[in-house]
């Protein structure tokens, strides 16, 4: 079992040029572990979007939002499961809060739209996870990504011993979600 302290993702959050690294130190110190995990997911998603020349704040196409939503939500569920398995329960409302905090950065859609999108994505994920349990093709998509997310968390989001370029993996996974959702 991995020991996960409240400062677990601090180094990952503070490296690079993200807006997160610009938070004043005293404000950053006040963030809860749940907030930091949400920020970690936001950073992962925004970097993957950035690598595809997109930004959550500038997306105006609902189809693109739904694809990013699937990626974010899937990654969020995997984070939640891994952390819970390792003794860090984020609470049942954490996922929805994290999701809405990220997507509400986009002012081209209403908060109600994002709540509906979250519910739709939840249904899609449940169906996908059910298929992963019974269908080889779905399992071949879900299982490796689950392992990668686990490796990311285990390495605190930093360079792993196996030299996995997590940013690149997340970008490819986001692209796969674009194809998967269609």
* Phi and psi based region of residue 51 (left: phi greater than 0; alpha: psi -120 to 50; beta: remaining): alpha
Residues 65-87 have pLDDT tens digits of: 999 999 999 999 999 999 999 99
Higher-confidence position of 171 and 3: 171
Residue 10 phi, psi dihedral angles, 5° rounding: -55, -50
Q: Give me the residue spans of the domains in the chain.
A: 10-181
- Per-chain mean pLDDT for the chain: 91
pLDDT bin (cut points 50, 70, 90) of residue 117 is: very high
**Distance, C-alpha 160 to centroid of its chain:** 18
- pLDDT value for 113: 97
- pLDDT value for 18: 79
Check if the beta carbon of residue 129 is closer than 8 Å to that of residue 10: no
Residues 7-50 have pLDDT tens digits of: 999 999 988 777 888 889 899 999 999 999 999 999 999 999 99
pTM for this predicted structure: 0.93
């Amino acid at each position: 079992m991995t020991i996960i302290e409240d400062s677990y993702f601090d180094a990952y959050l503070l490296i690079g040029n993200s807006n997160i690294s610009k938070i004043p130190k005293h404000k950053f110190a006040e963030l809860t572990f749940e907030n930091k995990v949400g920020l970690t997911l936001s950073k992962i998603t925004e970097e993957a979007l950035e690598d595809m020349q997109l930004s959550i704040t500038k997306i105006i196409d609902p189809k693109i939002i739904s694809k990013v939503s699937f990626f974010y939500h899937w990654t969020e569920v995997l984070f939640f499961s891994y952390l819970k398995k390792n003794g860090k329960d984020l609470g049942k409302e954490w996922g929805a809060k994290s999701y809405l905090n990220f997507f509400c950065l986009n002012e081209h859609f209403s908060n109600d739209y994002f709540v509906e999108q979250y519910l739709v994505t939840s249904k899609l994920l449940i169906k996908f996870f059910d298929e992963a349990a019974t269908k080889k093709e779905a399992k071949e998509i879900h299982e490796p990504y689950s392992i990668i997310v686990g490796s990311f968390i285990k390495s605190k989001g930093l360079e792993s011993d196996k030299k996995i370029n997590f940013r690149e993996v997340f970008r490819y996974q986001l692209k796969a979600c674009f194809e998967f959702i269609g």
